[in-house]
Amino acid sequence: MGIKEVIETINRMQADGVIERYAIGGAVAATFYLEPIATLDVDVFVKFHTEPDSQMISPEPIFRYLRDRGCAMEGEHVVIAGWPIQFLPAGSALVQEALAKGVEKDVEGTPARVFTAEHLAAIALETGRAKDKARVLQFIEANAIDLDRLQEILTRHGLAGAWQQFERQFLK
Amino acid sequence: MKLDLTPILESKRTFRRRAAARPIAEKLRMLDALRERTLAIRGSSNPGPAKKDVTHKEHNTGTWKK
């Protein structure tokens, strides 16, 4: 049991047509670029199928699919291979772009789609909690992001001001 | 006598660089182990994951809200 099994299950969900596209975000995605970051759950951003005759997106098909395969619900999470998984919609333009531009990584033969390092840093900056700012610093200190690409993303999504403030606070 | 933190900080940076450079599958196994350890430390009084403030599911409608 472990995260690799989680990734295999999500890949199967995609192959079975339950979700259109997914990308892992949060601390698990950051671990693809940095040192392992302790976390208690996995954030999976998904493009949901819309219900027929409805503009509403619903996670119900995901829950039904996983419940049918013996996964338990734990509050807002579905437990896969012992890990609570939170399936999240791409709620903002930035997250939609991150989902569209997610990259495929190889985990011992298993493909895993994750946000790019630059999108993870931009989302962390947008979220703006202390731990998110610390994560942006980790990306910078580890030289794990292309700063020009990050700037482009931030400008495109109206986060240039937040970046300037972050720079003043932590980098100058 | 002054404590020179420089070698300690450099040693930490080196450790983090080496951890970051490990194969991804190994890092994910480390996440599995870290989670087990965190849950063991927390004990059975608070086994659930931390609450998220990003979105939540409306249980009566099955839709997502910010």
Q: How would residue B57 be classed by pLDDT, with cut points 50, 70 and 90?
A: very low
Q: How far is B20 from chain A (nearest CA, A)?
A: 4
Q: How many domains does chain B have?
A: 1
Report yes or no: A72 at the B interface, CB cutoff 8 Å.
no
Query: Between chains, do A142 and B48 touch, taking CB under 8 Å as contact?
Result: no
The DSSP call for residue A55 is: S
**Would you state the pLDDT for residue B46?**
60
**Would you state the pLDDT for residue B62?**
46
| H or E element, residue A6 | helix A3-15
**Would you state the pLDDT for residue B44?**
60
State the residue for tokens 């480390």.
B30
Residue B37, in any domain of the structure: yes
Q: How would residue A1 be classed by pLDDT, with cut points 50, 70 and 90?
A: confident
The residue range of the domain holding B21 is 7-43
**Would you state the pLDDT for residue B10?**
93
Where are the domains positioned within chain A? 3-115, 118-171
Report yes or no: A86 at the B interface, CB cutoff 8 Å.
yes
| Spatial CA neighbour of A44 closest among A24, A26, A20 | A24
Q: Selecting from 3.60.130.10, 1.20.1740.10, 3.30.460.40, 3.90.1150.10, what CATH number does the domain A3-115 have?
A: 3.30.460.40
Report yes or no: A152 at the B interface, CB cutoff 8 Å.
no
Query: Between chains, do B39 and A88 touch, taking CB under 8 Å as contact?
Result: no
Residue B13, in any domain of the structure: yes
Which one has a higher pLDDT value, B17 or B66? Answer: B17
User: For B1-66, where are the E strands, in sequence order?
Assistant: 56-57, 64-65
**Would you state the pLDDT for residue A140?**
96
Mutate to test the interface with B, among A7, A31, A80, A123 (most CBs of B within 10 A): A31
Q: Is the pLDDT of residue B48 over 60?
A: no
Work out the number of other CB atoms within 10 angstroms of the CB of residue B11: 10
**Mean pLDDT, range A156-171, rounded to an integer:** 96
Report the mean per-residue pLDDT for chain A: 94
Q: How far is A158 from chain B (nearest CA, A)?
A: 19
Q: Is the pLDDT of residue A29 over 50?
A: yes
**Mean pLDDT, range A52-78, rounded to an integer:** 87
In degrees, to the nearest 5, what angle opens at C-alpha A123 toward C-alphas A119 and A127?
A: 170
pLDDT tens-digit profile of A68-127? Answer: 999 999 988 999 999 999 999 998 999 999 999 999 999 999 999 999 999 999 999 999
Which residue pairs from A128-133 have beta carbons closer than 8 angstroms and sit at least 24 positions apart in sequence?
Answer: A128/A162, A133/A166, A133/A169, A133/A170
Query: Between chains, do B28 and A35 touch, taking CB under 8 Å as contact?
Result: no
**Would you state the pLDDT for residue B47?**
52
Q: Which of A39, A127, A142 sits opposite B20 (nearest CB)?
A: A142
Q: How would residue A51 be classed by pLDDT, with cut points 50, 70 and 90?
A: low
Residue B35, in any domain of the structure: yes
**Would you state the pLDDT for residue A78?**
96
A124: Cβ contacts below 8 Å, ≥ 6 apart: A132, A133, A135, A136
Contact residues of B toward A, CB < 8 A: 13, 16-17, 19-20, 24-25, 27-32, 34-35, 38-39, 48-50, 52, 54-57, 62-64, 66
pLDDT tens-digit profile of B11-39? Answer: 999 999 999 999 999 999 999 999 999 89
Query: Between chains, do A86 and B52 touch, taking CB under 8 Å as contact?
Result: yes
**Mean pLDDT, range B35-59, rounded to an integer:** 63
**Would you state the pLDDT for residue B55?**
40
Are residues A88 and A99 in contact, defined by beta-carbon separation less than 8 angstroms?
no
**Would you state the pLDDT for residue A58?**
81
